Amino acid sequence: MWLAFPRPYRPEGHEVSAQDAPELHALVGHVAAELGVSRPVRVFVNGQVNASMGLAGWRREPVLVLGLPLWWSLSPQGQVGLVAHELAHLRNGDPARGGVIGLAFSLLVGVGADRPREARLTMLLRGYVTFLSLLPLLIAHLQAGYLAWLIGADSQAAEFRADLMAARVAGSDAVVVMLDRMHMAHLLDSALHKQRHMPERPHAFAEYAFMLDTVPEEQWAAQRAALARTSLDDSHPATVDRMQVVQARPEPGTVHLPPKTAEWIRLELGPFVRPIETQAQEWRQYLLHS
């Protein structure tokens, strides 16, 4: 039964300290100051085509998580927009991240989330006793789904607000491109495959960025159309709708990341690329053979 004991949100990935990446932390601090929020206490990187802002631990400390594949695929201003979007959630006090609702949601979603997937699959095969022990987990996940449904509309509105604040900081054009590139998250699997068997770039995240740079426009259009649906229980609106809202309110941006600084940040993150890529490859192989 201890498996069902709720735990607070714990970020996935590798922590990047200010000593590891002073320029990255300086950028995060600059964007935080521009938005009028305190900078995150900790910064993590992982292998997802995503980024997130959470309140970790029982002390609810702000933690920023950046996905290296997405980071590598963005222009310097797109990187500013990504950081600004996530920090904007702190400024807005969004429902799934702050206060009592945020704590409840992170506890419910976190039940069982930090156990290895192999272990969870094995538990499902352990008979009646194990089934009884998993009942609290099932209840918790049902409660999390119900809570997500209740705050769905507010969460979608929060994404629009964060997009507009990110556009004010990074510029509308950069944020639109950033959002559009999230349509192509599925190409990371192809990048991992190619890097494993026919490597041409330094690592899979560079390969992923190259793929995005060379995708035909027809493929972009098809993917946008495929992801143009949403519902109130989704935490994020359709990306196409988010792009249209940002485009309707042009902003020049107030924080500009020089290309040389952006390249220095990539060098700072370099030591984290190989272990994260290795984890992504191992997970891909596990999925292929499970």
Which position has the token pair 């702000």?
62
Mean pLDDT within 10-37:
95
> 176 is in which domain, residue-wise?
2-285
Statement: residue 6 has pLDDT above 70: no
Q: Which residue has the higher pLDDT, 235 or 279?
A: 279
- The CA distance from 186 to 153, in Å, is 26
User: For the packed helices 259-289 and 187-197, what is the interaxial angle rounded to 10 degrees?
Assistant: 80
Asked whether residue 252 is domain-assigned, the answer is yes
- The CA distance from 203 to 194, in Å, is 10
Tokens of 262: 């952006």
Across-strand partners of 14?
Answer: 45
Tokens of 80: 């500013």
Asked whether residue 106 is domain-assigned, the answer is yes
Mean pLDDT within 186-197:
96
Q: Quick one: pLDDT at residue 231?
A: 53
Asked whether residue 144 is domain-assigned, the answer is yes
Reduced to 3 states (helix: H, G, I; strand: E, B; else coil), residue 125 is coil
Mean pLDDT within 51-60:
84
Q: Which residue has the higher pLDDT, 148 or 90?
A: 90
Distances (CA, A) of 276 to 64, 73, 136, 197, 280: 17, 16, 32, 18, 6
Asked whether residue 93 is domain-assigned, the answer is yes
Amino acid at 281: Q
Amino acid at 208: Y
Mean pLDDT within 24-32:
98
Q: Which residue has the higher pLDDT, 271 or 11?
A: 271
Q: Which element (helix H / strand E) includes 130? A: helix 127-150
Q: Quick one: pLDDT at residue 211?
A: 97
pLDDT grade for 117, boundaries at 50, 70 and 90: very low
Return mean pLDDT, the chain. Answer: 81
Asked whether residue 59 is domain-assigned, the answer is yes
pLDDT grade for 12, boundaries at 50, 70 and 90: confident
Q: How many domains does the chain have?
A: 1
Those residues whose C-beta lies under 8 Å from the C-beta of residue 59, and which sit 6 or more positions away, are none
